[in-house]
Amino acid sequence: MSNSYPINTMMAKRMLPILRNKLPMVTTVNTDFQDEISDTQRKQGGIININKPPRYIGRTGELMNIENTTITQVPMTLSQFGVDVSFSQTQLQLSLDAVAAGMADGVLDSAASTIAAKIEADGTSLFKQVANVVGTPGTAPTDASILATAGAYITSQGGSTSGDRTIVLDSFANASLATSVKTYFNPQGVINKAYANGRLGSGYGFEIYDDPAIQSFTAGTYGGTPLVNGASQTGASLITDGWTATTTTLNVGDVFTIANVNTVNPQTRQSTGKLQNFVVTAVSTTDGSGNSTISISPSITPSGAFQNVTASPADNAAITVVSGASTATSKQSLAYDKNAFTFACVPMALPPKQGVIDATVVKDKMSGLSISMIEFYDGKSNQRMTRFDVLYAWAATYPELACRIQG
């Protein structure tokens, strides 16, 4: 093809930083598994199981107390997403420079925005696996101390205190907090940034971003006086009763607490003094007697190396839903330690040459993002067609190191 449009590799490389700058969550989470998922995705149908490190109780004194090593895993499943565009061959031949400029100024930015919105939305949807929650559903936060409370949840669960913490805020929550921050004794630079740009920047141990991909959540339809049905329950499900018969439904992402079941620090196993939050992992509907068996995370673990609560719930212990009143809808901003979530992007294989004018795959070393750009020609329509593709995966590796900010 003597008139081949010689911009593919250049355009793909120019697109990566545009894409990266539109992905605040991708660039602030753990990306250490990029190489591992690349090696295994072909063998396992696009699924990788990430190994989490074991935990041990330890011993006091000289006498050995040998403990079993338990490795837990978190699955990551690859998703493919792309944008397809076309140009007339006549346009290309008449004005290559103009089209190249259009690609750089318009097509690349629009395609990157579409791809970024999908990737970021998939990342922020991980809120449904996060049990820690602060804020009032339906009301934008106005007191910046709510950020400190979110940080306290993360610290109490073993999160790093040396940085690498991020908050991605709904735009209205960001605007509300940026307005209120001027009343605090913050560094002048933070106050100036809030005033000039409408965003907080850094504060309370977090880097804070305005993220338009923040998700909404609607609480289930529930009522009654819910109670634990049976003492000494453990594991990832909870037998309950006392709900409004038949009509009560808890949605995936609903959060509740159980009376006298406190969370513990994962290393010291001492009570934090706060009730453990449990998030619903499968839709649960009551039967005609108001009974329901609810799938939950984290699993109730009152002892051992992975202990996370002070005790199993007592029979008839009260259950309180804290993710909002029945059917309430709220935005779910996220505060998180870097290791709470994992992102991986896999370089795609180049296609066969038949029918392809040009193809390239480029990778951004800074973020791990990878994008393929493939150009075809359709003789029937005299169109040069280009497709941009990404292959990526998200996982909530340590959801206890994150906290939802309702608003």
Q: Are 121 and 3 part of one and the same domain?
A: yes
Q: Which parts of the chain sit beneath pLDDT 50? A: 1-6, 43, 94-96, 99, 185, 193-198
> Does 263 share its domain with 247?
yes
CA distance linking residue 14 with residue 53, whole number of Å: 38
Cα–Cα separations (whole angstroms), residue 357 to 43, 46, 167, 348, 354? 30, 28, 43, 17, 8
Query: For residue 378, what are the CA distances in angstroms to 89, 96, 355, 356, 385?
Result: 9, 18, 9, 10, 8
Q: Give yes or no: residues 298 and 332 share one domain.
A: no
Q: Are residues 106 and 172 in the same domain?
A: yes
pLDDT of residue 242: 96
CATH code for the domain of 386 = 3.90.1690
What domain range includes position 39? Answer: 1-217+328-407
Residue 148 and residue 94 in one domain: yes
Asked whether residue 244 falls in the same domain as residue 254, the answer is yes
CA–CA separation, 326 and 153 (whole Å): 25
Tokens of 92: 């290309």
pLDDT for position 194: 47
Question: Given 299, 327, 355, which residue is the final one in a domain?
Answer: 327
Give the rounded distance of the alpha carbon of 106 from its chain centre.
29
DSSP H helices, 95-187, are 96-102, 108-124, 145-156, 171-180
Task: Write down the residue that tokens 């809030």 correspond to.
Answer: 194
* DSSP-based three-state secondary structure for 34: helix
Same domain membership, residue 195 and residue 254: no
Residue 311's domain is classified under what CATH number? 2.40.30
Same domain, 205 and 63: yes
Token pair for residue 344? 């991986």
d(CA 356, CA 306): 53
State how far Cα 368 lies from the chain centre.
17
Distance set, CA 112 to CA 12, 84, 95, 108, 120 (Å):
10, 11, 24, 6, 12
Q: Do 317 and 348 lie in a common domain?
A: no
| 88-to-93, 120, 240, 382 alpha-carbon distances in Å | 9, 32, 63, 6
Judgement on whether residues 1 and 87 belong to the same structural domain of the protein: yes
Q: Are residues 353 and 307 in the same domain?
A: no
Boundary residue ending a domain (327, 353, 386): 327
CA distance 397 to 337: 11
- Domain boundary (284, 306, 327) is at 327
**What pLDDT is attached to residue 191?**
52
129 and 81 within one domain: yes
Token pair in block for residue 198: 């409408």
Q: How many domains does the chain have?
A: 2
